[in-house]
Amino acid sequence: MDWGQPVDGYCERLGPGLWAEPLNAVTNLAFLVVALWLWPRVAGRARLLCAVLAVIGLGSGLFHTFAQAWAGLADVLPIAVFVLLYLYLANRAYWRLPVGLSLLGVGLFFPYAALVVWLPAPLPGVGGSAAYLAVALLIALYALALRRRLPHVARGLALGAALLALSITFRALDGPLCAAWPIGTHFLWHLLNAAMLGWMIVVYHRHMVAGGGAGR
């Protein structure tokens, strides 16, 4: 694979230059701002989530600045780490599962995603957003399953799922609306996703402060 191969996948990009997606690049600061704002307000493993959130901003910023294959990897890997880490912590804290079962739950995410991701893929504009829809669905399923066990957590997760679904909508609309809106809508994915991931950290932290037990 040519890791220096240019990637032109967003409406705002006008050419192969370093600053051809200014809005998509700059809005990644939202991830850093949220991570830095949360850092002194949370503790324990919630801070680890904040660190990964900051790396998401850096990785996505690199991708929308350099727009090459290697930078694409820097974009998606931190997101995957956040999803898998949060899933592990959720299994430990919300379900009070032991380490082994929590890790098994993380492992089961891969066949789950493989089964779910193809369902919305044929829809217009979805494309690469299908994988994120699988995450939104999983959060919604956790919210539904926890509604009686941990109603406050369930409501928080439901809001997180709704925010992610909204941000995915703007991500998917970037191409279809490009002719009418040349700057695209991908930057809204960044802003809303930063808010959503920050909120998910808050949900976890509040639960732990309230005596969430396992996973501290």
Query: What are the sequence ranges of the domains in the chain?
Result: 22-209
The stretches of 117-185 forming alpha helices (DSSP H) are: 130-145, 151-173
Q: What is the pLDDT of residues 104-121, one digit of tens each?
A: 999 999 999 999 888 766
And the tokens for 189?
Answer: 């994915």
Residue 124 has pLDDT above 70, yes or no: no
Nearest residue to 29 via CA among 76, 67, 65: 65
Tell me what pLDDT residue 51 has. 98
Greater pLDDT, 216 or 155: 155
Greater pLDDT, 130 or 103: 103
Tell me what pLDDT residue 69 has. 86
Residue 192 has pLDDT above 90, yes or no: yes
CA distances from 33 to 38, 61, 162, 194, 212 (A): 9, 13, 22, 9, 27
Question: Under 8 Å CB-to-CB from 169, ≥6 apart: which residues?
Answer: none
> Worst-scoring range by mean pLDDT, 13-22, 52-61, 77-86, 196-205?
13-22
How many CB atoms neighbour CB 62 within 10 A?
19
For 212, which DSSP code? -
Tell me what pLDDT residue 213 has. 58
Q: In whole numbers, what is the pLDDT of the chain averaged over residues?
A: 91
Rounded to whole angstroms, how far apart are CA atoms 27 and 6? 21
Residue 3 has pLDDT above 70, yes or no: no
